Amino acid sequence: MRRHRPLQPLLFAALIACTALPAAAQRDIRFESPQAPTSGTLVLAVPQVADGEARDGAFAQIDAASQGALSRAVAAAAFTGRADSQLDLPGIAGFDRVLLVGAGDGAPDARRIEDIGGHVGRFAARSKAPRIDVLWEGAEAGAATQLAFGAALGQYRFDKYRTTRGDDEPAAGQGELVVRSPAGAAAAQDWDGDWKAVAEGVKFARDLVTEPANAVWPEEFVARTRAAFAGKANVSIEVLDVPAMERLGMGSLLAVGQGSARPPRMLIVRYNGGARGEAPVAFVGKGITFDSGGLSLKPGENMWRMKYDMTGAASATGAVLALAGRRAPVNAVAVAALAENMPSGTASRPGDVVRTASGKTYEIISTDAEGRMVLVDALWYVQRQDNPRVIVDIATLTGAIVTALGNDYAGLFTRDDALAAQLTAAGEAAGEPLWRMPMHPGYGKMLESPIADMRNGGGRPGSGTAAHFIGEFIDAGRAWAHLDIAGMAWRDGNELSTTPAGASGYGVRLFDRFVRENYER
Ligand code: MN
Ligand code: ZN
């Protein structure tokens, strides 16, 4: 059934891997007390004030040192310090550059401080200054850490494959970022032992999603996951290859992968930081390393972006990487259901009947409804092997959810009101919002097949019927939710300060927060 793997594409991929520049280093972040430096590149967060109202603190000092040039520039630009505003000033007093970032009206909450940090990070990624000092004068507990977290997310860049930078040109985005605040160096503990790991989980997911499909396919996803978890305590990694999945009867995941020269995999990462024997929290991600649609081929426009169709798997794995990195007192498991969906002489056809590991059968109506196909075998496996206390699956599943919710919310599907409330609150706190969608019992009717137990699609709403299909493979009474993140995984011209254009890594922060608030002892 499977073809020999052609040598040429693999050699070519290996060649790319060898010749590419190393990925740009992110700036290291460290913490200091709030004395303002008098030279170099300074970022100053300034609260919003009414027109003409004087400012104190570092602003006043720099203004005096510059004979009022700072306040004249601010007045001329009508900069008030409103949230999401910035003023970039070269050559003020002894500084090469002063960037004013608006901190907005009133006392900023954690989310706003993170956003401000995101703007700092965006600036830091473009700047060639070897050191950037960021001054935060507010006394809020944890502000320095929140600022650093936002900056770490905002400074993300991926220029591994660029070769056009001149040799004599220093790379932007390298060096260090010094957060100066009343918390001083004490903030480092909070950062190193905790939030830095979450930022690294997001970066892991973004890197995997950004990588093209000729660099990351199922086996390579596994290899990169192994590398990321190397040296992390209390972690075990299990990988099911094709023969193993055949033995387990995973006809559903295998049906998706069988058209590709690159064989599918199921990757299970277990992190046991909690009590021995305590049931884990499970995150199950759709990991289609490229979705052409299969024989139900997608239109050509924007097909390139379908490298992003493994975001769910990357975010589930990245979330567990974050938990392991910050040594969270919890047991958690990530399952990545990995396959490449390609049309070929060995590909699944519309009309094929597939037997899942659970024994249930379905008729393929569209080979482009492959996400639910890989997920159901992964969900079956994690329920049998790990008996999770709660399962959340995450997938770039349907275009219909983008029609419904745009790029502002991921769709949340669950029949469990308490779980819905937990996830919604976690999404709100983490800046990865969810909107609950209905799961009408009538959706099942639309998935009936005359020759099998179900069909893999059909009927409207497309996102709700997809959720219903997945739900058919969840044990009665098990806490389960499904997240459709098709509108949230990739940003294009609508970036946020903490989420630059491209791969968002949506889900890592949400899952980390969900675990933090509900499952840590
Ligand atoms: Mn598809
Ligand atoms: Zn897909």
Identify the pLDDT of residue 8.
Answer: 52
Angle at 188 between CA 101 and CA 173, to 5 degrees: 50
Identify the pLDDT of residue 4.
Answer: 52
State the Cα–Cα distance between residues 102 and 14, nearest whole angstrom.
46
Q: Output the six-digit token pair for 138.
A: 């507010």
Q: Say how many Å lie between the CA of residue 293 and the centre of ligand 2.
A: 7
Identify the pLDDT of residue 169.
Answer: 65
> How many secondary structure helices (H) and strands (E) does the chain include?
16, 19
Q: Say how many Å lie between the CA of residue 341 and the centre of ligand 1.
A: 8
State the Cα–Cα distance between residues 384 and 380, nearest whole angstrom.
6
Single-letter residue type at 376: V
Identify the pLDDT of residue 355.
Answer: 98
Q: Say how many Å lie between the CA of residue 369 and the centre of ligand 1.
A: 5
Q: What is the mean pLDDT of each run of 10 residues along the chain (521 residues)?
A: 49 45 72 91 94 88 96 95 96 97 94 97 95 93 95 95 73 91 92 96 98 98 98 98 98 98 99 97 99 98 97 99 98 99 98 98 98 98 98 98 98 98 98 98 97 95 98 98 98 94 98 98 77
Q: Which are the contacts of 521, defined by CB distance < 8 A and separation ≥ 6?
A: 274, 275, 329, 330
Provide DSSP, 463-503.
Answer: HHHHHHHHHTTSPTT-EEEEEE-TTTSEESS--BTTB-SEE
Q: Output the six-digit token pair for 94.
A: 């002894």
Q: Say how many Å lie between the CA of residue 370 and the centre of ligand 2.
A: 6
State the Cα–Cα distance between residues 209 and 286, nearest whole angstrom.
12
Q: How many CB atoms lie within 10 A of CB 172?
A: 16
State the Cα–Cα distance between residues 113 and 126, nearest whole angstrom.
20
- Of residues 249, 329, 330, 240, the one with CA closest to residue 283: 330
Identify the pLDDT of residue 16.
Answer: 47
- Of residues 332, 361, 481, the one with CA closest to residue 415: 481
Single-letter residue type at 445: K
Q: Say how many Å lie between the CA of residue 302 and the centre of ligand 1.
A: 13
State the Cα–Cα distance between residues 31 and 186, nearest whole angstrom.
8
- The bound ligand whose nearest atom lies closest to the alpha carbon of 396 is 2
Cross-strand partners of 29 = 177
Provide DSSP, 299-347.
Answer: PSTTGGGGGGGGHHHHHHHHHHHHHHHTT-SSEEEEEEEEEEE--STTS
Q: Say how many Å lie between the CA of residue 272 and the centre of ligand 1.
A: 33
Cα–Cα separations (whole angstroms), residue 117 to 42, 57, 120, 470: 13, 20, 5, 38
- The bound ligand whose nearest atom lies closest to the alpha carbon of 293 is 1
Hey, which residues are catalytic here? 298, 372
Three-state SS for 242? helix
Cα–Cα separations (whole angstroms), residue 405 to 257, 401, 439, 463: 30, 6, 16, 11
State the Cα–Cα distance between residues 139 and 106, nearest whole angstrom.
13
Q: Say how many Å lie between the CA of residue 371 and the centre of ligand 1.
A: 6
Q: Say how many Å lie between the CA of residue 386 and the centre of ligand 1.
A: 28
Single-letter residue type at 286: K
Single-letter residue type at 218: P
State the Cα–Cα distance between residues 88 and 65, nearest whole angstrom.
18
Burial 140-162 (b: 16+ CB within 10 A, else e): beebbbbbbbbbbbbbbbbbbee
State the Cα–Cα distance between residues 445 and 443, nearest whole angstrom.
5
Identify the pLDDT of residue 447.
Answer: 97
Q: Say how many Å lie between the CA of residue 415 and the centre of ligand 1.
A: 25
Quick one: DSSP state of residue 219? H
Contact 510, 424 (CB under 8 A): no
Contact 57, 136 (CB under 8 A): no
Packing angle between helix 311-325 and helix 196-210, nearest 10 degrees?
Answer: 160
- The bound ligand whose nearest atom lies closest to the alpha carbon of 297 is 1
- The bound ligand whose nearest atom lies closest to the alpha carbon of 375 is 2
Single-letter residue type at 145: T
- The bound ligand whose nearest atom lies closest to the alpha carbon of 486 is 2
In the block, which residue shows the tokens 């097909």?
303
